[in-house]
Chain A
Amino acid sequence: MNTLYLYTIVGVGLFTLGLYALLIHSDLLRKILAINIMGSGVFLILVALAARTQGAVPDPVPHAMVITGIVVAVSATALALALVIRVRTKVGHANLPEQSLE
C-alpha cells in the first residue's frame, strides 16, 4: 500500500463525478466538460497504477497510452465543440432536448 493509491481513488472519484454531471446536465458545453473530466479520471487511474510499486521506475507503456488518450480527447473535444456551435446555429439552443437521460 502506498500513497499513490490515493490518486487512483481520486481518479475513480473524477470518473464518477464526470459521469454524474454528464447525465444530469442538459447543457452541451457542460456535458463536454464532464466527458473531459471523466477522461482525466481514467488517465489518472492508468498512470497512478503504473507507479504503484514503491521505488521502482514507473512503467512507460501506460504513459504512452495516456498521451495517446489525451490527443484523442482533444480531437473529440474539438469536434464536439464545433458540433455544439452548429447545433446552436441550427436549433437555436445548445441543449439536448428531452431523452438525454434514457
Chain B
Amino acid sequence: MLSFLLPQRVKLLGLLIAAGVVAAVAALGWQVAELGAQRYAIGGWGAPLGIDLYADGLSLLMLMVNAVVCLGVSVYSTGYFNRAYFRRSRAIYFWPLWMFLWAALNALFLSSDIFNLYVTLELLGLSAVALVALAGGADALTSAMRYLLINLLGSLFYLLGVALLYHRFGSLDITILSQHIEPSPAVWVAMGLMTSGLLLKTALFPMHFWLPAAHASAPAPVSALLSALVVKASFYIFLRLWLEIFPVDSSVFGELLGVLGAIAIFWGGVQALRQTRLKMLIAYSTVAQLGYLFLAFPMASYFAWKGALFILLSHALAKTAMFMAAGNILHFGGHDRIQDFDHVVQYQPLTSAAFALAGISIMGLPPSGGFIGKWLLLEAAINSGQWWLVIIIIMGGLLAAAYIFKVIGYAFTQSRKSHQTRRVPIRMEWTALILAIAAILLGLIAPWPLAIMDIGLPFSGEAAG
C-alpha cells in the first residue's frame, strides 16, 4: 500500500522494488474489489486537517495499468541501459529517477488532496524532464528544457486554481470540496485556471506543440513512459476534478473540449502520416489518441466516460509496446528512418509482432482494448445523437490504420541501403511483445476492467444509459 520508494541509488535494486510495488498494488486491488472504495488518512488526522489517500475503481485501474507498464519498462530498461550505447554514468541515474517517477505516479493516483496533487505533479514533471534529458543530445536537451518550462507553467496555473478554491471553501480535500461546491466567480476562474494548466500538460490540441519533440527525443523506455502514463496523469487529475468538483453540466465547455479533441485526432493523425522517423510518428499518434479522451466530454454519459477510460488504458499498454519496439528497431539498425527499414520483420520477428499487435489496438480493430473503448464511445455518441462524433471516431481509426500500415509495409520490404546491425537483448523484444499482447487481451477481458470502473461509482452523476 505504501508506494513511496526510497531512491535506490546504488544499482539495479530497481527490479526488486518493481516487483514489490506490483505486489502492493495487487493487494490494494484485492482490497478495493472486496471492500469497495478505500480511504486512508495519513497521520490519522482525517480529511480537512490532514491528507487523505483515496482509492476507488478509477484510481485502481490507473494504478494497475501503471504497475503493468512500469514492470515492463523496468525489465526492458535492464536491457536498454546496459548497452555500451549509454555511458554508465548516465545509466546509473536512470534508476533513481525512474523510481521517483513511478512513486510520483502512484502517489498521484492515490491522492485526494488538491495541493498534494500539485506536489506530486511537480515531482512527476521534474523526474520526467530529467529522464528526457538523459538522452543527452542537443535535441533531447532542448526539448527537455521546453518540457520543463511547460510543466512549471502548467503547475503554476493549477496552483493558482488551488489557491482560489482553498480560499473559497477552506478545504483541499476533493470529497469535501465536492460537497460544498457551488457556482461562483471564484470557482469558475479556478476551474478555468486548473483546466488550462492540466490541459497544457495533457497536450490537448492547441497545446500539444511540446509533446512530439520531447517524447521522440527521449530514450525509448522513457518515451514509452511519457506517452503511456505521464500525460495520462494530468488527464486523470482533470477527470477527477471534472467529475467530482466542477459542475458537469457546463455543456458549452464540454463541447469545446470535444471539438479540440476532434481536431487533435485529425491533426495528430495527419502529422503522424507525414513523419519520416518512427519515434516522431508514434509521438504524433499519441497526440491523436489523446484527442479521443476528450471526445467523452461533450457526451458526458456513463458509456462515454467508460469508453474514454478504456481507450486510455489500452493506449497506455499499446503505446508502451510501440515505443519499445521502436527502441529495439533503433538499437538494431542504428536509426529509425521509416523508409530505410530493412527486413525488420525477418530479423526481429518478435518486435515486429509487438508493433503490429499494438497497432491493432491503436487502430481500434477487434478484439483489442482499443476496439472496446471506441465501441463504447460510438455507442454513447449514437445514443446521444451526436453524429459528428461518430464520423470523427471512424475517421480517426482510418488515419491510424494508414500510418501504421505505412510502417509495417516498410518493415517487410528491403531497403536499398544496408546497415550495420546490432543484436538486441531478447528480453527487450519479449517485453514489447507481452505488453502488446496485453493491449489485445484487454479487449478480451473487457468486462472485468469495466466492472472495476464501477467501484466507488466515480461516474455516479450519470444514470446508466
Q: Direct A–B touching in the complex (beta carbon < 8 Å)?
A: yes
Interface residues of A (CB under 8 A from B): 15, 19, 22, 28, 31, 35, 38-39, 42, 45-46, 49-50, 52, 61-62, 65, 68-69, 72, 75-76, 79-80, 83-84, 86-87, 90-91, 96-97, 99-100, 102
Q: A38, A52, A86: which contacts B133 (Cβ < 8 A)?
A: A86
| A22 CA to B200 CA, complexed, in Å | 15
Given A42-B156, A50-B167, A79-B130 in contact, is the A22-B138 Cβ separation under 8 Å? no
Expressed in whole angstroms, the minimum distance between the Cβ of A80 and any Cβ of chain B is 6
* Nearest A-chain residue to B170, judged by Cβ: A59
Provide the main secondary structure of the chain A interface: helix
Neighbouring B residues of A90 by C-beta, 8 Å: 136-138, 141
B206-253 contacts to A (CB < 8 Å): 206-207, 209
Q: Does B148 contact A (CB under 8 A)?
A: yes
In Å, the complex CA distance between A46 and B159 comes to 9
Cβ 8 A contact of B148, one of A68, A69, A80:
A80
Residues of chain A lying within 8 A (CB to CB) of residue B164: 45
Known interface pairs A35-B156, A87-B142, A102-B209; A76-B163 also in contact (CB < 8 Å) = no
Give me the 3 closest cross-chain CB pairs, A-B, nearest first.
A49-B167, A46-B163, A90-B138
Determine whether the beta carbon of A76 is less than 8 Å from that of B148: yes
- Looking at B138, B148, B152, B207, the one whose CB has the most chain A CB atoms below 10 A away is B152
Whether B166 and A62, one on each chain, are in contact in the complex, defined by CB atoms closer than 8 angstroms, is yes
The answer on a CB contact under 8 Å between B160 and A91 is no
Chain A residues in 8 Å Cβ range of B163: 42, 45-46, 49, 62
Total contacts A-B at CB 8 Å: 82
B residues with a Cβ closer than 8 A to A are: 115, 119, 122, 126, 129-130, 133, 136-138, 141-142, 144-146, 148-149, 152-153, 156, 159-160, 163-164, 166-167, 172, 206-207, 209
B120 to chain A, nearest CB (A): 11
Q: Among A39, A45, A52, A91, which residue has its beta carbon within 8 angstroms of that of B142?
A: A91
With contact pairs A75-B126, A79-B148 given, residues A39 and B156 touching in the complex (Cβ less than 8 Å): yes
Docked Cα-Cα span, A102 to B146, in Å, equals 11
Distance, CA A61 to CA B153, complexed state (A) = 23
Asked if B122 contacts A72 (CB within 8 A), the reply is yes
Contacts of B126 in A (CB 8 A): 75-76, 79
Q: Chain A contacts of B122 at CB under 8 A?
A: 72, 76
Q: Which of B142, B167, B172, B206 contacts A96 (CB 8 A)?
A: B142
> Is the CB–CB distance between B160 and A42 below 8 Å?
yes
CB nearest neighbor in A for B208? A102
Q: Within the complex, what minimum Cβ distance (angstroms) separates A27 from chain B?
A: 12
A35 touches B153 (CB 8 A): yes
* Nearest chain A residue, comparing its CB with the CB of B147: A83
Do residues A72 and B119 form an inter-chain contact, with CB atoms below 8 A? yes
Measured in the bound complex, the distance between the Cα atoms of B167 and A90 in whole Å is 45
Provide the bound-state CA to CA distance between A57 and B57, in Å.
Answer: 41
